[in-house]
Chain A
Amino acid sequence: MSDCCAPPAAPTVRAAREITIALVGPPNSGKSTLFNRLTGLRQKVANFPGVTVEHHTGRVRVGDADLLLVDLPGIYSLAPRSEDEQVTHDVLAGSMAGVHKPEAILLIMDCTNLGRHLVLAAPILSLGIPTLVILNMVDDLRRRDGEIDPLALAAQLGAPVALISAYTGEGVEQVSAFLEKVAAGKAARKAPVVQLPVLNDIPKCRAWAAQVGHHADYRPPAPPLWTRRLDGVFLHPVIGPLVFVAVVLGVFQTIFSGARPLMDGLQRLVTLSGNWLATVLPDSPLRSLLLEGVWSGVGSVVVFLPQILLLFLFIGVLEDSGYLARAALIADRTMSKFGLQGKSFIPLLSAYACAVPAIMATRTIENKRDRIATILIAPFMTCSARLPVYTLIIAAFIPNKPLLGPLLGGQAVAMLGLYVVGFLAALATARVLKSTILRSGHTPFMLEMPAYRWPTFKSIGLRLIDRSKIFLRRAGTVILTVAVVLWVLAHLPLTNGKAPAIADSLAGTVGRTIEPLIRPLGFNWKIGVGLVSSLAAREVIIGTLGTIYGMEGDAHSVSLQTALHGDLTTGGACALLIFFAFAMQCMSTMAVVRRETGGWKWPAVQFTYMSTLAYVCAFLVNQTVSRL
């Protein structure tokens, strides 16, 4: 994913000097909710140069000025220890390349937990940048009978204070008013009444925050009753795990059966539009490239969009509601048996849709070794790109005999078995990694349980749009490139101005060159071409095989399944399934692993390990099945 390579925004004529505003706050302070409310659709994800921390930037229009709002990672302090804190520190100090020093700061905190969140105000205010202190979740504070005097707090801190609810929108106009002042160059810092504490001493900072809160008549709210009631259920020793299992199964069921009609519809759309294109375009090499290369190649991937969006919808709801933290807590004990921790659960669940967002989601894991272990095993989870490959081969080779009544047929069992195999490979690998090269001594697991909230359509909708963009960009770049390159290789060298038979083409030559290597696995040169092309992305093999068999004389009339059935032994088919379960065939994953681990070392280790495992296991499976 090349989020970092997005072209810089074109400079507008009016904005000779772009005004940058930083949005800072602790985790769980409602920062993203406010950011979404202020910027709406005018936002994008980006990476700071040289670091792996992802951030959102968005544009806010106040009066006739256009401000750039930078959403910084959630932090508890400014002491640059973790990468998140380093990034925030550098941006605020103006030493981050590519970001102007902010002219103002929006410091957001949860006023139902003011004592602890106010600690961050000390280092932020000491920077001397005009700052608006935003006390979020005021609706919650009132409902739970808490109190705060914003004017007294403003006097104490020497900075304006806004009481808002980013969730309902209450008070957000105060933020806009502050931004207008900044745009007009009228925002200034006043000297605070209170002396700022010694920043490095957390107990002193906390005592300072308590004193400031006391002078501002802060009355902490009553405990969140509903959250406690819900936790009584979701963290109940018996009901809790049952709910957890039901949630995970429900997510899977919906992803696989609920997405089906949508995917079928999209597939029909791709096919119909392809057919229509075929009738309007004149017969030429260009038409062949467009239809066989671009349309079928890219189309076969775009079809997965509904499934991926549905998964992100679930993850978004679970995350925003606060349940995901509970799920991580419940999963922690099981994960710890494999040397991982509860926070690895979320990325691994996401990896069932796609390893790329899963690997980005490992950022919440603070322990570096745990994080790398999670990144390394995530691609073993059966991602949605493997699904079409599994579906094709299983349909062609596994008889659908009822095994356990009419509900569970042989094909369903085969599919389930492949999911289990991938999962076991992931756990075994984690175990090995964590007891060898990624052994970590004391792994502190600290996880804040946020109060439960209703997720908002806006925040989840924005996230889905974000994910669709990333996915479609990948379909439009990586997969498009592979489809075109493959088509060219399958049509060269020209003899007398005519494309060769596929076996004599460059692609065929590649396949036959590697044939001796893959022969022991039960694969012929055609599968070889498919394997090479699927190094870019797993699902590409289907388009490739379609091209290869489609180009072989009368195979046009035979469906791909039948063609495969006649061309592969059962042993070879089983070996192919296992190969796809284990092999690392995804350029996007490699790219994101490189970005997240900061070098080529881990992607290289991962690629070598997964390919070797895939080869050895496919070999064993082929040899075993062919001797049965």
Chain B
Amino acid sequence: MQLSFNSDALRLVELRDGETGVLEKMDLPEDVTRRLMELGFLPGHTVTPAHTAPGGDARVFRVDGSEIALRRDTASRLWVRLDPAQSN
């Protein structure tokens, strides 16, 4: 991971309930990135955490009008910028 981001870039897993992030970068193999983009995880789009599966792994994210579940290890490779306008 290059440190070429703003200092306020954080991992998607670090988003708390009620916060919204704007997707900046995905640090994953190309085929996985493509699949995520098809599911709506596009740079510049907002991502909001929704429900979490029991035990804390696999979390549902609202992105581009759908709800997609990702595991922690995937979500920790997506970098977002906190979107203060939409977080409460």
Which residues from chain A sit less than 8 Å from chain B, CB to CB? 76-77, 79, 81, 112-113, 115-116, 119, 202-203, 206, 220, 231-232, 235, 237-238, 240-241, 325, 329-330, 332-333, 336, 342, 366, 442, 444-449
Contacts and interface: CB of A to CB of B under 8 A. Distances in A.
Contacts of B42: 202-203, 206
B32 A444 contact: yes
B64 A115 contact: yes
Given A333-B53, A444-B74, A81 B28 contact: no
Interface residues on B, range: 20 to 34
B32 to A, nearest CB: 5
Contacts of B39: 76, 116, 446, 448
B71 A336 contact: yes
Given A112-B65, A444-B74, A447-B69, 7 more contacts: A116-B66, A202-B42, A203-B44, A336-B71, A448-B69, A449-B67, A449-B68
B16 interface: no
21 contacts: A112-B65, A116-B64, A116-B66, A202-B34, A202-B37, A203-B42, A235-B52, A235-B53, A238-B54, A332-B69, A333-B54, A342-B69, A442-B29, A442-B73, A442-B74, A444-B35, A444-B36, A444-B70, A446-B68, A448-B67, A449-B67
B34 A237 contact: no
A445 B69 contact: yes
Interface of B: 28-29, 31-32, 34-40, 42-44, 50-55, 57-58, 60, 64-71, 73-74
A325 to B, nearest CB: 8
A369 B26 CA distance: 24
Contacts of A342: 58, 69
Contacts of A202: 34, 37-38, 42
Given A203-B37, A444-B28, A329 B53 contact: yes
- The main secondary structure of chain B at its interface with chain A is mixed
Closest 8 A-B residue pairs measured CB to CB?
A76-B38, A235-B51, A449-B67, A202-B37, A333-B55, A447-B69, A113-B65, A332-B58
A330 B54 contact: yes
Contacts of B69: 325, 329, 332, 342, 445-449
B48 to A, nearest CB: 10
A325 B67 CA distance: 11
A77 B39 CA distance: 11
Contacts of A206: 37, 42, 64
A333 B54 CA distance: 8
A336 B60 contact: no
Contacts of B67: 448-449
Contacts of A76: 35, 38-39
B38 A203 contact: no
Given A112-B65, A202-B42, A336-B71, A446 B35 contact: yes
Contacts of B40: 116
A220 B29 CA distance: 32
A113 B39 CA distance: 11
A445 B58 CA distance: 8
Contacts of B29: 442
A442 B77 CA distance: 11
Contacts of A238: 54
B66 A329 contact: no
A330 B50 CA distance: 14
A269 to B, nearest CB: 45
Contacts of B55: 333
B66 A332 contact: no
A446 B58 contact: no
B11 to A, nearest CB: 15
**Chain A CB within 10 Å — which of B55, B71, B73, B74 has the most?**
B71
A550 B44 CA distance: 75
Contacts of B44: 203
B34 A81 contact: yes
B77 to A, nearest CB: 9
A115 B46 CA distance: 14
A189 B86 CA distance: 43
Contacts of A446: 35-36, 39, 68-70, 74
A122 B55 CA distance: 41
A447 B68 contact: yes
A401 B70 CA distance: 49
Contacts of B38: 76-77, 119, 202
Nearest to B69: A447
Given A202-B37, A202-B42, A332-B53, A445 B66 contact: no
Nearest to B32: A444
A220 B65 CA distance: 8
Contacts of A325: 69
A81 B38 CA distance: 13
**Chain A CB within 10 Å — which of B31, B43, B58, B64 has the most?**
B58
Given A202-B37, A235-B53, A329 B58 contact: yes
Contacts of B57: 332-333, 336
B60 A449 contact: yes
A284 B17 CA distance: 78
A541 to B, nearest CB: 42
A445 B59 CA distance: 10
Nearest to B35: A446
A448 B64 contact: no
A332 B51 contact: no
Contacts of B51: 231-232, 235
Nearest to A201: B37
Contacts of B28: 442, 444
A115 B73 contact: no
Contacts of A116: 39-40, 64-66
A20 B74 CA distance: 41
Given A116-B40, A336-B71, A444-B35, A235 B64 contact: no
Nearest to B57: A333
A241 B54 contact: yes
**Chain B CB within 10 Å — which of A444, A447, A448 has the most?**
A444
Nearest to B36: A446
